[in-house]
């Protein structure tokens, strides 16, 4: 199986150097790694200068897009069988991580697969509970018919750590060129509709989490709402996101009552801002462009509007 690891890069921190180190320690041996750099000022090239498996493609910062940039990597190396995507702040947890993830593709019906995300050591309580909610201890495989039981969670996947079969990507024409985010869910949904399956491997792990402020949560969920508004077919086919959000809030509340009831007020504030941001995103067509730029986390997306 010929693989290519693709990592979009922009001003990475020390987590990126730890990721590069873990990539070189993987049990599957040598494999090419493509770094698509959109204008970093941070000099990390000395870390990889003696490793011929690392390649760098420079692009202009204005040309970065979550889907289009990743599809660029695939187009550069169309001869690979599986494309593995990581973000610069996702650190492989052990030497077996990639081996576990790639085993998913021994099943010829698997179009894409993703691994388990564990919180970084500095993760906040809310960041930790989000990781535990979205990335459980049990592996599974889901098909299009599973949407009746799992709704939108059926097409959940994260490009912070995920892999895609070339044949399946070609079948759906690859990543979208211009989504605000959630290009991974877009692809997974398309694959499921076309008869492919999505695998989750709990034994393949990375450390990855974000300590978002309440305002950042609002902006992030506004962008998610924009995505669901513009790609409304996902909600029509797989169900509303609000139902899963309510289920998460129930689990979050139970965890707070058991472990840290002093965080209840912050939970209410965070979840309220998530909900408001998401609903505003769903109705973004009625919002002036200047306001959308101000309340969006992905401000660069609106430059072409």
- Say whether 44 sits in a helix, a strand or coil: coil
What is the chain's mean pLDDT, rounded?
Answer: 93
Q: Read off the pLDDT of each residue in 123-144 and give the average, rounded to a whole number.
A: 94
Q: Based on C-alpha coordinates, what's the Rg of the chain?
A: 19
| Rounded Cα gap, residues 256 and 108, in angstroms | 42
**Whether pLDDT at 260 is above 90:** no
Confidence of residue 304 (pLDDT cuts 50, 70, 90): confident
Q: What is the pLDDT of residue 250?
A: 83
The DSSP symbol for 109 reads: T
Tell me which of 3.90.550.10, 3.40.50.1820, 3.10.20.30, 1.10.3720.10 is the CATH number of domain 3-207: 3.90.550.10
Confidence of residue 242 (pLDDT cuts 50, 70, 90): low
Phi, psi of 118, rounded to the nearest 5 degrees: -105, 150
How far lies 170's CA from each of 33, 71, 80, 118, in Å?
21, 11, 12, 31
* Start-to-end Cα distance in the chain: 41
Q: Which conformational region is residue 239 in: left (phi greater than 0), alpha (psi within -120 to 50 degrees), or beta?
A: left
Domain ranges of the chain: 3-207, 214-299
């Amino acid at each position: 199986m010929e693989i290519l690891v693709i990592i979009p890069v922009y001003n990475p921190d020390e987590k990126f150097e730890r990721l590069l180190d873990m990539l070189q320690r993987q049990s599957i041996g040598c494999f090419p790694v493509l770094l698509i750099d959109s204008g970093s000022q941070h000099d990390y090239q000395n870390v990889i200068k003696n490793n011929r498996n690392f390649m760098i493609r420079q692009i202009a910062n204005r040309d970065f897009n979550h889907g289009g940039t990743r599809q660029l990597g695939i187009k550069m190396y169309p001869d690979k069988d599986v494309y593995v995507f990581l973000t610069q702040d996702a650190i492989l947890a052990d030497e077996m991580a990639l081996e576990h993830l790639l085993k998913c593709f021994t099943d010829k019906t698997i179009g894409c697969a993703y691994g388990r995300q564990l919180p970084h050591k500095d993760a906040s309580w809310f960041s930790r509970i989000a990781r535990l909610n979205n990335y459980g201890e049990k592996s599974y495989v889901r098909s299009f018919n599973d949407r009746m039981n799992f709704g939108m969670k059926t097409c959940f996947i994260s490009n912070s750590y995920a892999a895609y079969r070339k044949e399946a990507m070609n079948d759906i024409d690859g990543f979208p060129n211009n989504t605000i985010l959630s290009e991974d869910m877009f692809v997974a949904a398309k694959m499921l509709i076309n008869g492919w399956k999505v695998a989750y491997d709990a034994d393949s792990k990375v450390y990855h989490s974000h300590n978002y402020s309440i305002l950042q949560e609002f902006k992030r969920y506004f962008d998610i709402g924009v995505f669901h508004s513009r790609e409304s077919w996902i909600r029509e086919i797989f169900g509303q996101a609000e139902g899963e959000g309510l289920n998460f809030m129930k689990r979050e509340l139970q965890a707070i009552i058991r472990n840290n009831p002093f965080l209840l007020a912050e939970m209410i504030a965070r979840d309220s801002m998530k909900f408001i941001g998401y609903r505003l995103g769903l109705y973004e067509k009625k919002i002036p462009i200047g306001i959308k730029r101000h309340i969006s986390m992905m401000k660069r997306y609106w430059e072409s509007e």
